[in-house]
Amino acid sequence: MSDRRVALLVGCSDYGDRTFRQLPAPAQDIDALRRVLADSAIGNFTVDTLCNKPSGTVSQQIEEFFANRKPDDLLLLYFSCHGVLDPRGRLYFVMANTQKRLLDSTGISARWVKEQMDHSRSQRIVLLLDCCYSGAFTRGLRRRSAGTEEILEQLGGRGRVVITASDTMEYAYGSEFTNAVVHGLRTGAADLDGDGLVSVSELYHYVYDQVRRNMQGQTPTMSADGMRGQLYLAKNPHAPVPLPAELDQVLASESAWKRLWAVDGVQRLLSGDHPGGQKRAARQALIRLRDDDTDLDVRTAASEALSRVSRRPDIPDPRRPHYRRLVGAGLPLAVVLVLMIALFFIPSAHKASPLPCSPSTKPADGVLSLGTLFPKTGEFGYAGPALNAGVHLAMKDINDAGGIPGIAVKLEDTNQRDEGNLSADTASQSVAALL
């Protein structure tokens, strides 16, 4: 990370013009963000703060902030305040003395902020905006906000990343955005790939997920222009912690297929909502498998898992459920399972003896009922719902393709177990009985 890292945090909660509603959060938000950015174990920034200051003071400090910089200096500017549009759609940040009827002389123009960025020699600038872009803030009035695209056009530019708290026609509620930023940096949870560093992209994706989870009507956005390579904002302050004992035991198994199966569990720890230290341990485990495992399939699977979590994830459409997260791991196994069961009940293919733990029942009245047997609890309890969902999809594919001649396929929940483990040996015997 750059040796020179400087942040300026600007907030305003008290407004002389009563057109603007008082905000309770900016002072607390600035203090919380200052703590994590200034922490040498996290951000290691030199931080200045301005809270409830008049626009003249803020303008002077912003101009000085961007002046006399080097190209590799990392500059972070943060606003927590109201935003307002003039009749021509131009954005202004509202300060303590801002008058709505005199925005040019009493507000902070977004275009002016952009000019200061343009004049700066720094090519590493991050702008965080925790404000809604509204023309009416008083209680009871209809909220109107500028389109994010228009604002980014005013603030964008080469070598800059702009992250906003909300999207077009949305309100930025309370401190949701800043709380997510602070939590992601302080806990290391925003270190999504577990490499010990938090990039701007990782922070955005973490904040997006957190805000969308807590506020369905608020969608953070990010615009990056001219950035080359990764831009790292902070370090993960937490050292790796041990992996779950059950998973660690499987990783140490002499059976290559067990280690191969464990790759998915490790990747889930790395890509899910887990503490930063656990993510770092998961990443290190995948690196060991990729570099040192004796089995080619295990090394390949670990390498692919690392590549998946290292790529910038796609932001999902918030209107659509995350089906991929539910069935991603179970679908391939489920397809194989259902196809093998189908072959098992076709007379010409019925060569095996009954299964030790049969996942199905004999066809009755022209219907083949499939059941699943999986652990409901324990470290790998997630596998059950994923497998069940995968069986549903595979079963549908079989029926859509004409099914088994004379037999309809349906799924019934025949799983009655409630235990932490399903014996790997029993599972392998069941598969072997079908072959």
Going by C-alpha positions, the residue among 211, 67, 73, 72 that lies closest to residue 130 is: 211
Q: Which sequence spans correspond to the domains of the chain?
A: 5-235, 245-310, 323-434
User: What is the rounded distance in angstroms from the CA atom of residue 420 to the CA atom of residue 415?
Assistant: 13
Question: What pLDDT, on a 0 to 100 scale, did the predictor assign at position 158?
Answer: 43
Question: What pLDDT, on a 0 to 100 scale, did the predictor assign at position 322?
Answer: 34
Question: What pLDDT, on a 0 to 100 scale, did the predictor assign at position 121?
Answer: 92
User: What is the rounded distance in angstroms from the CA atom of residue 334 to the CA atom of residue 395?
Assistant: 9
- Tell me if 92 sits within 8 A of 86, measured CB to CB: yes
The single-letter code of the amino acid at 150 is E
CATH class of segment(s) 5-235: alpha beta
pTM of the model: 0.61
User: What is the rounded distance in angstroms from the CA atom of residue 137 to the CA atom of residue 94?
Assistant: 11
User: What is the rounded distance in angstroms from the CA atom of residue 274 to the CA atom of residue 277?
Assistant: 8
User: What is the rounded distance in angstroms from the CA atom of residue 291 to the CA atom of residue 75?
Assistant: 37
Question: What pLDDT, on a 0 to 100 scale, did the predictor assign at position 195?
Answer: 84
pLDDT of 161-218, one tens digit each? 888 887 644 555 668 899 999 999 999 989 888 888 999 999 999 999 898 888 777 7
How far, in whole angstroms, is CA 296 from its chain's centroid?
Answer: 31
pLDDT of 287-346, one tens digit each? 889 998 999 999 999 999 888 876 544 444 333 333 333 333 344 444 445 445 544 444
Question: What pLDDT, on a 0 to 100 scale, did the predictor assign at position 176?
Answer: 87
> 419 vs 170, 384, 430, CA distance in Å?
46, 12, 18
Token digits of residue 204:
């955005």
Going by C-alpha positions, the residue among 30, 18, 96 that lies closest to residue 57 is: 96
User: What is the rounded distance in angstroms from the CA atom of residue 62 to the CA atom of residue 114?
Assistant: 11
SS3 133: strand
Residue ranges of the chain with pLDDT lower than 70? Answer: 1-3, 132-159, 167-174, 227, 272-276, 310-435
* Cβ-based neighbour number of residue 335 at 10 Å: 17
Question: What pLDDT, on a 0 to 100 scale, did the predictor assign at position 219?
Answer: 79
List, in order, residues 6 or more apart from 82 with CB less than 8 Å away.
12, 15, 20, 21, 23, 93, 94, 131, 132, 134, 137
Q: What share of the chain is helix, strand, coil (3-state, %, to 5)?
A: 45, 15, 40
Residue 366 Ramachandran class (φ > 0 left, ψ -120 to 50 alpha, else beta): left
Token digits of residue 160:
């800059």
Q: Write the burial class of residue 49 (CB in 10 Å: 0-12 exposed, 13-18 middle, 19+ buried).
A: middle
Token digits of residue 9:
């945090």
Domain with residues 245-310, CATH architecture = Alpha Horseshoe (1.25)
